[in-house]
Amino acid sequence: DADVTQTPRNRITKTGKRIMLECSQTKGHDRMYWYRQDPGLGLRLIYYSFDVKDINKGEISDGYSVSRQAQAKFSLSLESAIPNQTALYFCASQGSSVTGELFFGEGSRLTVL
């Protein structure tokens, strides 16, 4: 099994729909992240969580929300999807230390029509 699993891997939806992207990790890591990747812009941080009770907004959190259901699970929601949220989304986890190795999911490609 992959260390970090994202579902779904691909999703096409319509404007206004609610979408949830799920992420689970088997590394026992406290730190989890959600990023989006757009061509030419690199990885941009949406939300991050340093433990189950700690949720922080990233630089592009508007239009998104998250839930840290357990140490292993970190979900990203788009309450009302819009076309400019079409992107490749990555979940990542990192060990408790600031020098912990990074583990990424395979990515979730979201298309909003």
Partner 1 sequence: KNEVEQSPQNLTAQEGEFITINCSYSVGISALHWLQQHPGGGIVSLFMLSSGKKKHGRLIATINIQEKHSSLHITASHPRDSAVYICAVGRWYGGSQGNLIFGKGTKLSVKP
Contact residues for partner 1, defined by CB under 8 A: 33, 40-43, 45, 48, 50, 56-59, 88, 90, 92, 94, 98-104, 106-107, 109
User: Least CB distance from residue 16 to partner 1, whole Å?
Assistant: 26
Q: Which is nearer to partner 1, 16 or 41 (CB)?
A: 41
Asked whether 71 and 91 are in contact (CB, 8 A), the reply is: no
Q: Which is nearer to partner 1, 42 or 70 (CB)?
A: 42
Among 38, 17, 33, which Cα is nearest to 76's? 33
User: Least CB distance from residue 65 to partner 1, whole Å?
Assistant: 16
Place of tokens 């088997």: 26
Q: Is the peptide bond before 83 cis (omega within 30 degrees of 0)?
A: no
Q: Which is nearer to partner 1, 18 or 87 (CB)?
A: 87
Q: Which is nearer to partner 1, 12 or 16 (CB)?
A: 12
Distance (Å, rounded) from C-alpha 68 to C-alpha 47? 11
User: Least CB distance from residue 21 to partner 1, whole Å?
Assistant: 14
By CB atoms closer than 10 A (0-12, 13-18, 19+), residue 36 is: buried
